[in-house]
Amino acid sequence: MRRLKFKCKVTFLVVLMAFSVLLSCSKEDELEPVKEEEKVNPIPEEEKEEEKEEETGPYAVYVADELTGVYTTCTDGKDNPQRDTADILNPVNVGTIDDRSCYADYEEVDANGIVYGVYNITAGSNHLDAENTLQPRIERSLSRSQTTGIGSYARFTGTVRILEVGKTSSEGSDGTYIMQAKGKHTGGGGSADPAICLYLAKPVYGKDSAGNNVQVSFDLYREQIKVRGGSGASGRDVVFLTNIEKGKPTEVVLEVGFRADPNDASKKIHYADALIGGEAYNFNIPEPERGTQSGIRYGAYRVKGGRAQIRWANTTYKKEEK
């Protein structure tokens, strides 16, 4: 009987131990719960603004007054009998009109709240001078500084917009003058009223929105004398200055005058200094001792083919005589 009880106890202990081992193994084999990785919302990429196509042409407001389409050399009623009579009352532009074109007369137009003087000319439209002699023009002449002392000068400021310039089959004949420095000299040579340097705009072509080949900007040159009274290729150099976008309002300053020569106190320099779009383009005029005047004209002058359309605003003029 005791043996039976002992066997039962042993059996019970064995079973209990086996159960404990089994339970322990079962716990060890149990997989730890998998931790879900925190889902971190990715930082959204900054929305890229659509890149706007670069402006390839001028703002529409600055070319709205451009004349397009078919035109004639002359227009009825624009053949003024004298060159200084085709002006309006109280023009915004300073200076005396010189109109030698039967295509148009001086008028004014508003562009973005600024009033511009309009200078439009066509090839062959000079109805006042002998045929095939002088080029068409509508310009304004400013009273000249008639003295040559150091500190004498003529200074013009304005805002120019170039819409169209003369175009021919020859590059050398392309372009239109937008302003010029003038001044007589001693010792003869050249014309009775010689130019010192002229600012010549030549066309640069590109495609418009319809694929047409049109003038989109203008290379600006200074056509400057080599000697007093110089003209043509032998008497003038043509120097590139800058490029101006079609229709873009561009600030201009032109000063012509006399200053001391920093290298020789006994001499002086006759100069024509320009600021165009904030950049300086200075020119020391040859043979300064021969100069007797400093003058300026501006507008539209020369069109050997096609048509020219120039606009001027905010014009001022000042001179000193010493």
3-state SS class at 108: strand
pTM: 0.82
Instruction: Please tell me the predicted confidence (pLDDT) of residue 276.
Output: 99
Token pair of 315, please?
């014009």
Does the structure show a pLDDT above 80 at 163? yes
Token pair of 242, please?
């800058």
pLDDT average, residue stretch 239-262: 98
Torsion, Cα of 8, 11, 15, 17 (10° steps): 110
Token pair of 216, please?
């989109």
Chain position carrying tokens 């873009």:
248
pLDDT average, residue stretch 162-177: 98
pLDDT average, residue stretch 118-127: 99
Does the structure show a pLDDT above 60 at 292? yes
The CATH code for residues 75-320 is 2.60.120.200
pLDDT average, residue stretch 108-131: 98
Q: For the chain, what are the domain ranges?
A: 75-320
- How far apart (Å, rounded) are the C-alpha atoms in residues 58 and 217? 9
Give the active site residues: 182, 301
Strands (E), 171-302: 176-182, 195-207, 213-225, 236-245, 250-261, 264-276, 279-284, 295-301
3-state SS class at 73: coil
DSSP β-bridge partners for residue 185? 291
